A and B are shown apart, each in its own frame.
Chain A
Amino acid sequence: MKRVVMWGLSTLTVLVLLFGYHTSTSAALPASSEVVAVGTSSGGRTVTGPVAQTRWGAVQVAITLADNKVTAVTVLQSPDANRKDQQINARALPILTEEALDAQSADIDMVSGATVTSEGYRESLQGALDEAGL
């Protein structure tokens, strides 16, 4: 850490209280991307990370460490959760099949399901689809 500013833990707590619950409503809050604040106490230390500019807006988190383990992550700023995508499409709705379809009857391009492992892929529906289309 290059530019470390020592802050009291109480100061940091106030910061967290001020910013901690803006997670789903706030736009980016003004903050310096340079300053890194570290609070210490016997119970642990809190490190404020840099502001990351993401596609959705600025994100900044504080991480609390105790005995060299991460014990808490606090969002100091995040983009607006209710942001609408510019290119929003007509909403796609699941259409239930009359009965569960087997691979041959399913006129589909891809399969969404619980995560398939590489080991299980060959026997999976997605594996069969890819095999047929490769």
Chain B
Amino acid sequence: MAPSTPDSKRYVEHVMGMPISLALRGAHTDDASARSAWAAVMAELREVDRVFSTFRVDSVISRLGRGEIGPVDCPPEVTEVLGLAEWAEHDSGGAFRVRRPGPDGESVLDPNGVVKGWAAERAAEHLRALPDTGFCLSAGGDLVCRTLDPDGAPWRVGVEDPRSPSKIIAVIPIRSGAVATSGTAHRGEHIVDGRTGRPPADVASVTVVADTLTWADIDATAAYAHGRDAATWLRTRPDRTGLVVWRDGRTTVVA
């Protein structure tokens, strides 16, 4: 299998337990400035992990959740993410939640539904600074792209078949913007409908195309949490398109 854009240069590293893949094309793909931008992307994602990981007991978000520190002791990014999470909860009618029940039944602060997309969108700023260079950056299957020439070839993004993750069920040709998918194919049931606390019914995956990965990621999770109302809810969102794959194999394109 060869990538659609054979002249692109690719990079891969891991952070937060997931692969980060980058494809660059244009003026700076394999020189010092390209490598330095890639290093800056990874450094930023590692810093986000240090602050936001709920798996690290010493992260800022874990300490905030335990009440050891207050919001004023946190970096401004924490306020930004919690604000985004609350905004998402409001816009999703409560299907998207930033707090989830912990093992002891008490609520645990878990902004993971916001952090990944927000962090990758932010990290992509280092790539936007590369002159005359297009990019497609994937954080574990959620991606943000840029194409400089408005008439040039788009990036071709394959949407994984949630029932058979080694296959592609749709292709999204995208020049600049973001694509995010929520589903349970690789990590099992971890998204619940915040209104019921139960895994959503009927839906296998939701893919959302939006201007920013911050909102593509949030809306994919929120739409997925809506279960059988996933496509209906996604249609209410401004400037989004997407694809809902149902558990019975049917698909709905949201245009």
Contact surface of A with B, Cβ cutoff 8 Å = 1-2, 21, 23-24, 36, 47-54, 59-61, 63, 65, 67-71, 73-75, 78, 81-82, 84-85, 87-97, 100-104, 106-118, 120-121, 124-130, 132-134
**CB nearest to B238 among chain A residues:** A82
CB of B197 within 8 Å of the partner chain: no
> Of B72, B162, B174, which contacts A47 at CB under 8 A?
B72
Residues of B within 8 A of A129 (CB): 1, 3, 21
Residues of A within 8 A of B8 (CB): 109, 133
Residues of A within 8 A of B187 (CB): 114-115, 117
> Of B67, B211, B238, which contacts A69 at CB under 8 A?
B67
B241 touches A94 (CB 8 A): yes
Which 6 residue pairs are nearest across A and B when measured between Cβ atoms?
Answer: A113-B160, A68-B67, A49-B71, A59-B83, A114-B183, A108-B158
> Of B79, B107, B158, which contacts A110 at CB under 8 A?
B158
B167 touches A116 (CB 8 A): no
* CB of B70 to closest CB in A, whole Å: 5
**CB nearest to A127 among chain B residues:** B19
Residues of A within 8 A of B186 (CB): 113-117, 120, 124
A50 touches B170 (CB 8 A): no
A88 touches B21 (CB 8 A): no
CB of B152 within 8 Å of the partner chain: no
B66 touches A69 (CB 8 A): yes
Residues of A within 8 A of B103 (CB): none
* CB of A113 to closest CB in B, whole Å: 3
A92 touches B10 (CB 8 A): no
Residues of A within 8 A of B39 (CB): none
B: contact size bracket: 35 or more
> Of A48, A50, A59, A110, which contacts B157 at CB under 8 A?
A110
Tell me how many residue pairs across A and B have CB atoms closer than 8 Å: 290
> Of B6, B165, B181, which contacts A125 at CB under 8 A?
B165
A78 touches B157 (CB 8 A): no
Q: List 12 A-B contacts (CB under 8 A).
A: A23-B91, A24-B91, A59-B80, A63-B71, A70-B64, A78-B87, A85-B212, A101-B167, A102-B166, A102-B167, A115-B116, A125-B165
* CB of A18 to closest CB in B, whole Å: 15
CB of B156 within 8 Å of the partner chain: yes
Residues of A within 8 A of B21 (CB): 110, 126, 129-130
A24-B91, A52-B76, A94-B170 given; A114·B17 CB < 8 A: no
Stretch of B43-51, B52-60, B138-146, B225-233 contacting A (4+ beta carbons < 8 Å) = B138-146
Digit string of B165-202 for contact with A (CB within 8 Å is 1, else 0)? 11111111111110111111111000000000000000
> Of A93, A96, A112, which contacts B181 at CB under 8 A?
A112
> Of A85, A89, A94, A133, which contacts B159 at CB under 8 A?
A94
A106 touches B1 (CB 8 A): yes
Residues of B within 8 A of A134 (CB): 10, 12
CB of B90 within 8 Å of the partner chain: yes
